[in-house]
Chain A
Amino acid sequence: MQENNLLQKRIKRIDDAIRFKKPDTVPNVSHFYAWMVSDYGSKLNPALRDWDLSEKIYRKFLEDYNFDCSVSYLGLLCHPYGATDILGQGAYIIDEENGCISLKDFTLLTVDEYHEFIKDPDRYTWNTLLPKKYAKFKNLTVADYKKIIDMFLTWADKLGEHTNIAFNEYQVPLMNDFDAGFPGIEMLFCFLSGMKETSLAMRRNPKAVEEICAMYDSALDNALSKVKKENCTGNAAFGLHQVMLAHNFLNIKQWEKYYWPWLKKVCDKVVEENLTYNLFTEGKIVRFADYFKDYPKGHLAIHVEEDDIYELAKALPNCCAMGGLTTETLGKGTKEDCINQAKKLIDDLGSEGGLILSENKMMSYKRDAKSENVKAVCDFVAGYNL
């Protein structure tokens, strides 16, 4: 039986940690995705196509582990994967043996195409990018593509259902109230041009990169116009949530040109509205610490992947440190090792707020963690009163 007001307790716990107020216990926020498929005992292919199965997997995860906040694994995949049955294989590689999903680095849009793409992105995507990606696209019919659109609509509904199940039945808060989208440079690196082409484009044709980034970044003002304290639902763990990857491939000059102006606008707005901002920083972020150091305490929660969380906490004492639970320990250690790791993090960094425990990776491989270790950490953290 769940305790009363658990939802509000969890929201307060997370907010207290970010605001550097002593929480009742250190919040423990899940960063588990495809891992929960193997933890359920399923293969990936059926779990990515069978909506009933996906719900069972998510329910088991919510029941087995009492995280303070959680994201549906369907959210990470970002796609109705069954579309590949109609279109053919895409960039994702499903590895059933190792229980993992990998993504090939691919170049869909080359720098020479940026100018044409900007004129009408929808038409260019339809006429050029989709046929480039899927050889049989132009031979398919409206009836075929209707199946894909319907699959997308179902997937979006199911994502909403997962969120509602977590919220209504398990008292798990929503992740965030507002969404700023992605800066253009992330769109290029992660989705359209890939790492190699974008890196070359920034050197060979920076004007074209600026143009396409400006097109995407122009959407930010509209997104931020909705970010207001009075528009908060009171049901979310964070004001905003961000995943950052492209910064890893940028030197300081490129960061200042392509990334920081966008991110600074969001950070400034978060502070202005007295909200909170959770940034999951893939790779390393500490080399950019100077850009975040002058923000007042109580707004930014920086989730580290490859950075040492102690180094982040030292470099940015104004930011809540997030992460610290490593796949190395969760996947290979004993229950005792995992509890010791969690206890040390809490004692060293979290006793007066300023720490949110989470995993240092997006937990995708079945070997990333043993079930009993995850359970042991969840139980320990929930019972370790400050």
Chain B
Amino acid sequence: MEDINMNQKLDDYDACINEFCKIYNMSEAEFKGLLGGVNFRIVTL
């Protein structure tokens, strides 16, 4: 399994996407689909 930087700060969008893809074992397109749903909920929370 690839190393995952769980301490990556959220201030770097691309680096975060990269780490999340490894965590959830998803392609970038798949993960962005999930993240779009999560972020929409969170930003309007």
Contacts and interface: CB of A to CB of B under 8 A. Distances in A.
Nearest to A87: B42
B41 A129 contact: no
B25 interface: no
Nearest to A139: B9
B36 to A, nearest CB: 6
Given A138-B9, A142-B5, A91 B41 contact: no
A108 interface: yes
A122 interface: yes
Contacts of B36: 121-122
Given A87-B42, A125-B39, A149-B34, A142 B13 contact: no
Given A122-B32, A122-B36, A149-B34, A138 B42 contact: no
B6 to A, nearest CB: 4
Contacts, number: 88
B7 A141 contact: yes
B14 to A, nearest CB: 9
A231 to B, nearest CB: 22
Interface string B22-38: 01100000001011111
A92 B11 CA distance: 25
B45 A122 contact: no
A129 B16 CA distance: 16
A137 B32 CA distance: 18
Contacts of A123: 13
Nearest to B35: A122
A252 to B, nearest CB: 28
Contact of B10 (A122, A142, A149, A192): A142
A129 B39 CA distance: 10
B43 A108 contact: yes
Interface residues on A, range: 35 or more
B10 A141 contact: yes
Contact of A149 (B38, B40, B44): B38
A312 B2 CA distance: 61
Contacts of A192: 44
Interface stretch (A78-86, A202-210, A290-298): A78-86
B23 A83 contact: no
B20 A142 contact: yes
A43 interface: no
A140 B10 contact: yes
**B23, B37, B45, most chain A CB atoms within 10 A:** B45
A138 B5 contact: no
Nearest to A156: B37
A155 B5 CA distance: 26
A133 interface: yes
A45 interface: no
A133 B43 contact: yes
A127 interface: yes
B43 to A, nearest CB: 5
B19 to A, nearest CB: 5
A320 interface: no
Given A142-B19, A146-B23, A83 B42 contact: yes
Contacts of A138: 9-11
27 contacts: A79-B41, A79-B44, A80-B41, A81-B45, A83-B45, A87-B42, A122-B32, A122-B35, A122-B39, A123-B13, A126-B16, A127-B13, A130-B39, A138-B11, A141-B10, A142-B5, A142-B7, A143-B7, A145-B16, A146-B6, A149-B20, A149-B35, A152-B37, A152-B38, A191-B43, A191-B44, A192-B44
Interface of B: 4-11, 13, 16, 19-20, 23-24, 32, 34-45
Given A91-B45, A92-B45, A130-B43, 10 more contacts: A87-B42, A121-B36, A122-B32, A126-B13, A126-B39, A138-B10, A139-B10, A141-B9, A143-B7, A191-B43
